[in-house]
Amino acid sequence: MNNYGTILLVEDDVSLAQWVAEYLTEQGYTTHVCHRGDEVIGQVKTLNPSIVLLDIMLPGQDGISVCRELRSFYNSPIIMLTARDEEMDEVIGLEVGASDYVMKPVRPRALLARIKAALRQNNEPNKSLANEKLITVGALSINTESRSVKLNDLDINISSAEYLLLHYLTSNAGQVVSRDAVFKATKGREYDGLDRSVDVLISALRKKFNDDPQNPTKIKTIWGRGYLLVSTAW
């Protein structure tokens, strides 16, 4: 059987963890299971998995704080699992460094598609993203080597998911980009018609750049078409 990578599944529901692990193993992944949040850091340092599937509600340490701690040393994809259909979970998860999120109840094929897309995007960064070392739009600058962002020479703290989205928008500043194009460029997969993660990230970026969510001038949503980073607003 092919080995497509190592997965660390962090899930306190033992029966759910068992069948998800069995399914992923059948699909060719070496899958390890952890049931407690306070054991994840040690497991990741030992296993160095290709990807981490991380539940939010965990005993010992919650998934949000685990994700934040992981991002101090772990650069591979982290997909959050959450049973609560609350945008705040999605916002916080993406802000602390999650690559993507999956709502429970878990659909096996949908989860597998997210895993494949995250690993593909991590291993083969989209060529449509600009290759320049420094991208500038007005007072906004992005250093693509250090993955750092500045506005008016002030550092902006930004998550990996936010960086990928901002990078793509600034590379296409002044142009409307479709939702499908954004998903393919930043997540390596097509938009499924339900995923709200880009909207969540857009909201987070507006907040960080003091862009009025009710009447944004820097990053606009063009209904029916996609998104626009306004090149003259920075």
Q: Using the predicted structure, report yes or no on whether residue 130 has a pLDDT greater than 50.
A: no
Residues 227 and 197 in one domain: yes
Establish if 129 belongs to a structural domain.
no
Where residue 34 falls among pLDDT bands split at 50, 70, 90?
very high
In whole angstroms, give the CA distance from residue 108 to residue 31.
14
Where residue 60 falls among pLDDT bands split at 50, 70, 90?
very high
Residues 119 and 27 in one domain: yes
The three-class DSSP label of residue 125 is coil
Where residue 129 falls among pLDDT bands split at 50, 70, 90?
very low
Asked if residue 33 lies in contact with residue 60, where contact means CB atoms within 8 angstroms, the answer is no
In whole angstroms, give the CA distance from residue 73 to residue 129.
24
CA 75 to chain centre: 11
Structurally, the chain folds into a number of domains equal to 2
- Identify the domain containing residue 88 by its residue range: 6-123
The neighbour count for residue 69, using CB atoms within 10 Å, is 17
- List the CATH number of the domain containing 94: 3.40.50.2300
Which of 40-49, 199-208, 220-229 is the most confident on average? 40-49
Establish if 82 belongs to a structural domain.
yes
Length of the chain (residues): 234
Residues 29 and 113 in one domain: yes
Task: Check residues 36 and 113 and name the one with the higher pLDDT.
Answer: 36
Q: pLDDT tens-digit profile of 155-167?
A: 998 877 888 899 9
Residues 110 and 29 in one domain: yes
In whole angstroms, give the CA distance from residue 219 to residue 205.
8
Q: Which of 86-90, 186-190, 202-206, 230-234 has the lowest mean pLDDT?
A: 86-90
Backbone angles phi, psi at 151, to 5 degrees: -130, 125
Task: Using alpha carbons, list the distances in angstroms from residue 64 to 49, 78, 95, 113, 158.
Answer: 18, 11, 10, 23, 16
pTM of the predicted structure, to 2 decimals: 0.69
Burial of 132 (0-12, 13-18, 19+ CB in 10 A): exposed
Residues 109 and 159 in one domain: no
Establish if 83 belongs to a structural domain.
yes
Q: What percent of the chain has pLDDT over 70?
A: 91
Closest alpha carbon to 68 in 93, 42, 88, 50? 93
Residues 107 and 179 in one domain: no
Task: Check residues 107 and 94 and name the one with the higher pLDDT.
Answer: 107
Closest alpha carbon to 92 in 106, 71, 107? 71
Task: Check residues 123 and 190 and name the one with the higher pLDDT.
Answer: 190
Q: What is the mean pLDDT of residues 40-47?
A: 96
Q: Six-digit token pair at 225?
A: 């078409």
Residues with Cβ within 8 Å of residue 69, at least 6 apart in sequence? 41
Q: Which of 20-24, 31-35, 56-60, 81-85 has the lowest mean pLDDT?
A: 81-85
Q: What is the mean pLDDT of residues 193-208?
A: 85
